Amino acid sequence: MTAGTTHKDVLDWANARWDRLPAHPGLRARADEMAQKLAGEVSAGRLPFLSLPFMPELTATLAELEAGFLPRFTHMLLLGIGGSALGARALQKAFAPGQDLPGHTGKSLWILDNVDAATLTAHLSRLPAAQTLVYVVSKSGDTIETIGQYFLVKDWLRRELPAGWKDHLLLNTDEKKGYLRQEATQFGMRTVPVPDNLGGRYSAISAVGLVPAAFLGINWRALAQGFAEVAAPLAAPGLEAKTLAGHPAFELAVWAKALMDAGMNELITFFYIPQWASFADWFAQLWAESLGKNGQGSQPLPAVGVTDQHSVNQMFLDGPRNKACLFVERAFSPDDADQGPIFPTDMPESFNYLQGKRFGELLPAEALGTRMALCKHQVPLAGLRLGRANEHAAGKMMALLGATTLLTGWLMGINPVDQPAVELGKRLAKARLGAAGLEAEKAELAAFTSVAAGERGF
């Protein structure tokens, strides 16, 4: 992009290699079927992540929290896992990166999204309880990893702040049921609801992600606005096939399904916006948990430029020919104010080509080089190029990728909003810990663990 041009967010299909995807015309012809299904699901209230019916109430709640509650705290400790944490982490890394830089003195978001005992102990021994808000995110209210942390953190708060511990808890859970809802009712804790039919991996633009964003001072209103701009046409009453066929989410979904039909079952998500690297992890969960069903799907491969040029890119370029790439970058303008320092003039002659240039000019040059190399190695590539790497653009991207995931699942003939295989692992873990019931799972565990070990030293 040159100086004076308009900042646009675009999808670039120049290297998508439609010629290698013979299924795409038939998939495009399903626009009418998909439009009818989408309109029906929205009308039935089963796709709140697109229609955003909760947003007016949430906007008022967030404004209220910003006005008097959130400013009381310096630290937020988020207890959540999977979709309850990945969106918040991506937003923090992208738009409040100061926490990761030397000399940070502002607000800090700490996310406990695993069951590592040493990490939990370190946080509880070092965080000042009086300045910490604990944000617990679990729609069901019985996610064992999150609730296990909650028991211990609640105990910590009660020891450190016996008079006002409950004022340092904010619970994000179901409006009517679940253990966390019982806790909120019993102790009078502050809560924000998770709307019905809003699965964790689709929930970043809800209280799940926007409360941490508001805490950090991120422009959550721009995030929500950008998201709505892309999602609203898909949630409009009476959606027609022509409208859906012209929407970028449908075109991306057709491309993704046609890739699978052609045997390309790995999807690289190459983010050449370094501070947005965690969005690749957010998308990986969204894509994998939604589409890995019945022996189908494509494996998401998160990557960040330029770091992964020097690690996994060799496999992308010269490994099995089963990969495609969604390449995310920011449009470059030499007039951008954040291009960093100018290279000095007293460099060795072999580096003269850098003289007069800014450090920030390396990134778009590297991005172009990697994009061209992928294309020269016959990797189908769709380019997502953002005019500005700001909250509004991030909201648009998140809506685009969420809607694409949903539509891809429907084109595959699977349900993209459940996760049955994941639920099995959860039940087995509870059975291993001695939870009541789960007799079938306990029997399976006994059989599995009784098999003679096939161990060898190394």
Q: Do residues 179 and 142 lie in contact, with contact meaning Cβ atoms separated by under 8 Å? A: yes
Distance CA 192, CA 70 (A): 13
Calculate ∠ Cα 267-273-276, nearest 5°: 80
Q: Where are the alpha helices (DSSP H) in 170-303?
A: 179-187, 207-216, 220-235, 241-245, 248-261, 277-291
The pLDDT, as a whole number, for residue 4 is 38
H or E element that contains 172 = strand 169-174
Q: What is the mean pLDDT of each run of 10 residues along the chain (458 residues)?
A: 60 96 97 97 95 96 96 97 94 95 95 95 97 94 90 97 96 92 94 91 96 98 97 94 97 98 97 96 97 96 94 94 97 76 90 90 94 96 95 98 98 91 77 83 83 77
pLDDT for 143 equals: 85
Closest C-alpha to 113, from 290, 285, 280, 267: 285
What are the angstrom distances between the C-alpha of 401 and each of 7, 306, 388, 406? 20, 22, 18, 9
Residues 6+ apart with CB under 8 A from 106: 98, 99, 217
Question: Tell me, what's the pLDDT at 1?
Answer: 37
Do the strands 10-15 and 381-386 form a parallel or antiparallel pair, or are they unpaired? Answer: antiparallel
Q: Are 252 and 234 in contact (CB under 8 A)?
A: no
Confidence at residue 442, expressed as pLDDT on a 0 to 100 scale: 84
Residues facing 169 on adjacent strands:
134
Which residues, in sequence order, are CB contacts of 234 under 8 Å at separation 6+? Answer: 38, 42, 50, 244, 247, 249, 403
pLDDT score, position 334: 67
Which three-class secondary structure state does DSSP give residue 247?
A: coil
Q: Please name each of the domains of the chain with its CATH number.
A: 10-40+226-412 (3.40.50.10490), 48-217 (3.40.50.10490)
The pLDDT value given to residue 337: 65
Amino acid at 45: G
Tokens of 377: 């190695």
Beta strands in 371-448 (DSSP E): 381-386
- Residue 89 corresponds to which tokens in the numbers above? 């982490």
Which residue type is seen at 187? F
Q: Annotated catalytic sites, by residue?
A: 289, 310, 426
Contact status, residue 143 vs residue 430, Cβ threshold 8 Å: no
Q: Which residue has 């075109």 as its token pair? A: 251
